[in-house]
Amino acid sequence: MASRRARVSWLGLVMATCRLVPFEIFEWVWKCLRLGFRSSQRLCFLFGAVQYALGGVGGFASRVAQAAWPLLVANRGRAFFLCTTLRAMREIAERLAELDAQAETGLQRLVQGDAPRHELLARFRRARAALLVGSAGFWEGVDVAGDALSLVVIDKLPFAPPDDPVIKARNEAMRRTGRDPFSQAQLPAAALALKQGAGRLIRSESDRGVLVVCDERLVTRGYGRRLIASLPPFARVASWEEAAAFLPPPDVGD
């Protein structure tokens, strides 16, 4: 069943100028666009990862890094770790460095800010076992072909910060006209950003890999189902063992 469900393809929806699109319209357009396409892709979404991220000792960023570590090692890197804030990015990168020092995996860690984006991408493409930790600059507009990128980990759902002055002003303006900022603006924007992050795994009809989202709100909040529905139709698995079956062999791309 997982194999059959994984044989899907995805047509990117470019909505760079999207403003206040009601979620129902966004969802309807997405469903229409994804109908009728088939390929040999083998991609999965690991939604059970939140259980691991919630347990353990330390802050959320540290627990997320710890939760994703087994798959990062199993895949020999070949991964993007996408973060929603620069602070989380730095904390996750630090924890990953500690884990790597303990295990001596030989993974090459690349962190946004250590070099210009184009240079980090060039290093990632050349490396035999690379892990890139980044924030907003790597969620979209970045393509790495083949098995060199076969794992994407996302720390939290990409909602805009509520204390952002622009966001606050827009929300207040929407409320004055009787509209709901969350369902009509914030949720569609988060769904689009989440899909863009997942899209780093999709470059051709033969792609394979794993998407991990470490945010418990996907399963504890009602809107979580709507966000999951907005993702490309990956197979869904609930354990690291199931997810590992969707990764390319360790020697591919090394």
In the chain, what is the greatest distance between 2 CA atoms, to the nearest angstrom? Answer: 58
From 70, 226, 215, 90, select the one nearest 151 (Cα to Cα).
70
Task: Give which of 157, 158, 162 is closest to 218, Cα–Cα.
Answer: 157
Task: Identify how many contiguous H helices and E strands the chain contains and give both numbers.
Answer: 12, 7
Q: What is the mean pLDDT of the chain?
A: 78
Residue 111 phi/psi, 5-degree rounding, is -125, 135
Both tokens of residue 207? 């792609």
pLDDT digits (tens, 9 = 90+) for 199-242: 888 877 777 889 988 888 887 889 998 898 888 888 888 777 88
Residue 44, amino acid: C
Among residues 22, 18, 15, which one has the least CA distance to residue 184?
Answer: 22
pLDDT tens sequence across 115-164 = 999 999 999 999 988 999 999 889 888 888 888 899 999 999 999 887 88
Q: Which two tokens stand for residue 70?
A: 């087994």
Region 22-30+42-237: CATH code: 3.40.50.300
Pairing of strands 151-154, 208-213: parallel
Q: At what angle do helices 23-33 and 187-198 cross, to 10 degrees?
A: 30
pLDDT, one tens digit per residue, over 10-65 is: 222 222 222 333 444 344 334 433 433 344 567 777 765 555 445 555 688 888 89
Positions of E strands within the chain: 42-46, 79-82, 108-111, 130-134, 151-154, 208-213, 235-237
